[in-house]
Copies of this chain bind each other. A is one copy, B any other.
Amino acid sequence: MQMAPVRRLAVIGLGLIGGSLARALRQAQVVERCIGFDADAGQRQAALALGVVDEVASGAAAAVTEADVVVLAVPVLESGTVAAALRPALMQTAVLTDVGSTKRSVLAALRPALGTALRRFVPAHPVAGTEKSGVGAAHADLFRGHRVVLTPTEETDADAVDRVRRLWQAVGAQVETMSPEHHDQVFAATSHLPHVLAYALVDLLGRLQTHQELFRFAAGGFRDFTRVVSSSPKMWHDIVRANRDALLPVVDQYVEALQQLRGAIDRDDAARIFEIFSRARNVREHYLRSTSAGAQP
């Protein structure tokens, strides 16, 4: 049997994504041994009890000692602190990667934290997840058929990029590459903005006097629309702060689009309302047909 391409994998942050990646890589038999660490003792114990990792370490530095691949799977604003803590224990040949939903901020935080080791850091963003969080929700198939975006820079080692690409391919993901700047623009529009819109809606309805009754009569559409609100508030708080400069302009564009639609409703402009609704439906149907990701529509 061929030797597993990763002798010792360290996963720092045993949440939904870190836990799922550990499960998936072990199931794909590309990892000999998997060591995990999470700042939350409960998550560490659960990861061990659920067989997500082979062992848990007492700290980030202890986890990465002798690891040839290290995955940072922590909320994006913690990346710098965690990287600084594990830096002294990193093998010189170790490849680092992450799973954060923003990429410029992680690179900026890791630059001072990692120093020369930054060139072996491969920024990665698996475009997968559920509204559930925690290691208990982790499963090996989370990434199958989903895209993973790598955002290496000019400094990034080509060998490190190749290694990370092969790991994601081993768990069934479709790997794509773009610049960190472009990544942050794309996901501000398609992911961070919808989250912000849904959080604002649920918070508004929750503050209304009548909210108990409102939610009693909320239907499936409302549940779908607000599912993202059940995601980890800490994780999303980090994301919107980290990607603020890309996010704010699309929030402003959105408010303008909403005000245009509001204006059409206000003046009872039937043709315009129908045009906007039909165009949106066509865009979504076209997108559903063109997307190849295995997830349900």
In the bound complex, do residue B291 and residue A218 qualify as a contact, i.e. CB atoms below 8 Å apart?
yes
Give chain B residues whose Cβ lies under 8 Å from the Cβ of A276. Answer: 199-200, 203
Would you call A4 an interface residue if the criterion is a C-beta within 8 Å of the partner chain's C-beta atoms? Answer: no
In the bound complex, do residue B225 and residue A224 qualify as a contact, i.e. CB atoms below 8 Å apart?
yes
Which of A31-39, A108-116, A164-172, A279-287 binds B? A279-287
In the bound complex, do residue B279 and residue A203 qualify as a contact, i.e. CB atoms below 8 Å apart?
yes
Q: Please name the residue on chain B nearest to A256 by beta carbon.
A: B204
In the bound complex, do residue A199 and residue B255 qualify as a contact, i.e. CB atoms below 8 Å apart?
no
Would you call A208 an interface residue if the criterion is a C-beta within 8 Å of the partner chain's C-beta atoms? Answer: yes
**Given A265-B247, A273-B240, do A128 and B203 touch, yes or no (CB 8 Å)?**
no
In the bound complex, do residue B191 and residue A219 qualify as a contact, i.e. CB atoms below 8 Å apart?
yes
In the bound complex, do residue B186 and residue A213 qualify as a contact, i.e. CB atoms below 8 Å apart?
yes
Q: CA–CA, A263 to B26, complex, Å?
A: 44
Tally A residues with Cβ within 8 Å of B.
97
Q: CA–CA, A251 to B226, complex, Å?
A: 16
**Residues 229-251 of chain A: 1 if any B CB is under 8 Å from the residue's CB, otherwise 0?**
11101101100110010011001
Give chain B residues whose Cβ lies under 8 Å from the Cβ of A220. Answer: 128-130, 295-296
Give chain B residues whose Cβ lies under 8 Å from the Cβ of A296. Answer: 220, 223
In the bound complex, do residue B222 and residue A248 qualify as a contact, i.e. CB atoms below 8 Å apart?
no
**Residues 270-281 of chain A: 1 if any B CB is under 8 Å from the residue's CB, otherwise 0?**
100110111111
Q: CA–CA, A211 to B253, complex, Å?
A: 14
Tell me which of B131, B146, B259, B285 contacts A230 (CB under 8 A): B285
Q: CA–CA, A191 to B224, complex, Å?
A: 11
In the bound complex, do residue A208 and residue B195 qualify as a contact, i.e. CB atoms below 8 Å apart?
no
Tell me which of B202, B213, B225, B288 contacts A280 (CB under 8 A): B202
Give chain B residues whose Cβ lies under 8 Å from the Cβ of A257. Answer: 200-201, 203-204, 207
In the bound complex, do residue B218 and residue A253 qualify as a contact, i.e. CB atoms below 8 Å apart?
no
Would you call A261 an interface residue if the criterion is a C-beta within 8 Å of the partner chain's C-beta atoms? Answer: yes
Tell me which of B190, B211, B241 contacts A219 (CB under 8 A): B190
Would you call A228 an interface residue if the criterion is a C-beta within 8 Å of the partner chain's C-beta atoms? Answer: yes
In the bound complex, do residue B229 and residue A227 qualify as a contact, i.e. CB atoms below 8 Å apart?
no
Give chain B residues whose Cβ lies under 8 Å from the Cβ of A211. Answer: 283
Give chain B residues whose Cβ lies under 8 Å from the Cβ of A130. Answer: 220
Q: Which 3 A-B pairs have the closest CB atoms?
A: A206-B283, A233-B277, A215-B287
Apart from A127-B219, A234-B274, 6 more pairs, CB < 8 Å = A198-B225, A200-B254, A215-B290, A220-B295, A241-B270, A244-B265
A-B contact pairs, 14 of them (CB 8 A): A128-B219, A129-B219, A191-B218, A191-B219, A196-B262, A200-B257, A200-B258, A216-B291, A218-B291, A220-B296, A221-B228, A230-B288, A240-B273, A252-B262
